[in-house]
Structure 1
Amino acid sequence: MASKQNPNNPTYFPFNKLKDLLHSEKIVCVLGYGLSEGYAPHYYDIQHGAWSSVEKALLLKPFSNQQHFEMVLNWFNWRRAGTKTKESIMAFNEISLLRTCFNISVGTQNVDGLHRINNLDNIYELYGCVLDTRSIRNENLDLQDVEKQSDEMQKYADKRLDDSQTDQRQLPDVDMFGWNSKANARADFLKVAIEAELIIKIGSDDFLSPFSEMNINNKKPSLKITSDCIEFILDSHLYKLPLVKIEEHLNDAVEGIKIPVKTIADVIKYLYTIYR
């Protein structure tokens, strides 16, 4: 039904192999901002953006400067205000059902909390979640890289907001400024991902965890779900199945009313409808 993306060897989409892999004992699903886009319009680019590193925290010091603390908190509040928490996102519903049907461990690169709001709980939050807070009282920066432990950084790390202020000072519980590292959660999920027989990607970023920490030579089978198609990588070959073909395959297999396939949620639903 679909051609392998290899002009020298066109063939059918390997439906049976995908079915076998979906029934594997170990599968991981990685969620990313592509799933939240439109519902959380302001991207929390804390992983590699303006506030991601210890060096940048030297310029903006929310742990020792009250004005900077308020700037950071207001930045998060602005993003929270733009997040559409009252709208149900069907894709999260379908991911929950997919996890129920198959043995899938789910991790999210997002910190926006939309997975929780849409009842997708008990997953790996690889960079934390803005719906939780953490007190900065008596906190020290988590200096993960020994080379970054300069005299200047050590001097800064010892400076806290004074005790009369810190009792009330909390920031979102996310990994930022080299502080509040979620390295343990990422390490736990990385172990699961390395052992997995199939990786499912939904709106995820290959430059973030767990992919940023995996061996680039690891040719593990993967299934990427987009709003246009599914992309299935198997034995170093890429197979694509566009929405129109997904819809045909679904409706050939399901008797009765025709089922449209127009969104990411529809594609996810197709997986557990056809392959469970």
Structure 2
Amino acid sequence: MLAELPPELIVHVQHATTLLRTAQRVCILTGAGVSAESGIPTFRDKQTGLWSQYRAEDLASPDAFTQNPQLVWSWYQWRRQLVQDKKPNPAHYALAQWQEYITLSQSAQQLTLITQNVDDLHEQAGSTVTHLHGHLGRNRCSQCDTPYIVPTLSAADQVNFSIDLLNCDQCGGYIRPDIVWFGESLPVNAWQTAEDAAANCDIFISIGTSSLVYPAAGLAHLAQKNGATLIEVNPNPTPNTIVNITLAAAAGVVMPALLQGIIDSCPTPKD
């Protein structure tokens, strides 16, 4: 697997693997680039079809929902249809296998996985993950925040992508996606988990994200301030001077190679 990579990348992967073998606490932040490798358009991609006349930023806000809840709900139902058949890629599986390996080998290493993505590909792969920006597949009341499960279409549990507005059973308010919109705060518990992991890690890895957009970008700076080594996995590296190791390739290429290097250097998992 490693031998298939370009020589310069092999050197950087080996360097990163050496550090990861002895790291006690690892914090990983994933972004849109990881999901893009599974065919999910990034939030910044140009809209297509009926939505080409809109910018995503103009639809993902409390004001937009207040002004035209039907429009915003319809857009999110369209987005849900786009991702319903998408599957985890090798990067998702490598991260899940890494977590599993830590458990099976009874390793002292702690790995905290944080994502800015709103899909469930990490969960599909088997990972335990903290979502900073919410979940595309979940809903809640726009007034009282009560969680809401959209009824399925049939006993076969077919997903309901109806664009009809729904009302809360508790207060009657409109149901909205459980997503963090522009102008809204990140979930308190999720952000606390992310901050604690970043502040106390030996190695911070950003995968498929520039780590330039706040507040998530603050995690890398927090880790660096507390002495962590920063590793970036991104085919298009960002001009971020605090990164120590740049692995300029797709996450689906790099992460399996990193995982294999870690496993090959460690004792066989205990029974």
Task: Give the TM interval when normalised to the shorter protein.
Answer: 0.5 to 0.7
Q: Does 1:175 align with 2:180?
A: yes
Q: Which amino acid aligns with 1:192?
A: A
The structural deviation recorded for 1:237 is 7.5
Q: Is the 8 A contact 1:129 1:173 kept in 2?
A: yes
Question: What is the CA–CA distance in structure 2 between the aligned matches of 1:205 and 1:183, rounded to whole Å?
Answer: 23
Q: Percent identity?
A: 18
Q: What secondary structure is seen at the aligned counterpart in 1 of 2:57?
A: coil
Q: What secondary structure is seen at the aligned counterpart in 1 of 2:253?
A: helix
Question: What is the CA–CA distance in structure 2 between the aligned matches of 1:162 and 1:264, rounded to whole Å?
Answer: 40
Which residue among 230, 235, 238 is the counterpart of 1:222?
230
Question: What is the CA–CA distance in structure 2 between the aligned matches of 1:164 and 1:18, rounded to whole Å?
Answer: 51
Q: Where in structure 2 are there 5+ consecutive unaligned residues?
A: 1-6, 46-55, 103-109, 147-165, 264-271
The structural deviation recorded for 1:214 is 5.7
Which residue among 211, 215, 232 is the counterpart of 2:217?
211
The structural deviation recorded for 1:162 is 9.4
Q: Which residue in the other structure is 1:108 paired with?
A: 115
Which residue among 119, 128, 132 is the counterpart of 2:125?
119
Q: What secondary structure is seen at the aligned counterpart in 2 of 1:78?
A: helix
Task: Show the 5 A alignment for 1:1-276.
Answer: 2=8, 15=14, 18-37=17-36, 39-41=39-41, 43=43, 49-50=57-58, 57-58=62-63, 60-62=64-66, 68-83=68-83, 85-102=85-102, 103-116=110-123, 118-138=124-144, 167=172, 169-176=174-181, 178=183, 181-206=186-211, 207-212=213-218, 215=221, 218=225, 220-227=228-235, 238-239=244-245, 264-276=251-263
Q: Is the 8 A contact 1:40 1:84 kept in 2?
A: no
The structural deviation recorded for 1:242 is 6.5
Question: What is the CA–CA distance in structure 2 between the aligned matches of 1:162 and 1:100, rounded to whole Å?
Answer: 40
Q: Is the 8 A contact 2:113 2:129 kept in 1?
A: yes
Deviations 1:155-181 (A, max 9, x none): xxxxxx998995373211111254574
Q: Which amino acid aligns with 2:32?
A: Y
Q: Which residue in the other structure is 2:106 paired with?
A: none
Equivalent residues, number: 215
Change (3 A) 1:85 1:274: same
Q: Where in structure 1 are there 5+ consecutive unaligned residues?
A: 4-11, 141-160, 244-262
Give the CA RMSD over aligned residues: 3.9
Deviations 1:116-147 (A, max 9, x none): 3x23443110111111111224359xxxxxxx
The structural deviation recorded for 1:29 is 0.9
Question: What is the CA–CA distance in structure 2 between the aligned matches of 1:271 and 1:238, rounded to whole Å?
Answer: 16
Deviations 1:171-209 (A, max 9, x none): 111112545741331122111111111011110231144
Q: Which residue in the other structure is 2:4 paired with?
A: none
Q: Is the 8 A contact 2:26 2:112 kept in 1?
A: yes
Question: What is the CA–CA distance in structure 1 between the aligned matches of 2:81 and 2:113, rounded to whole Å?
Answer: 26
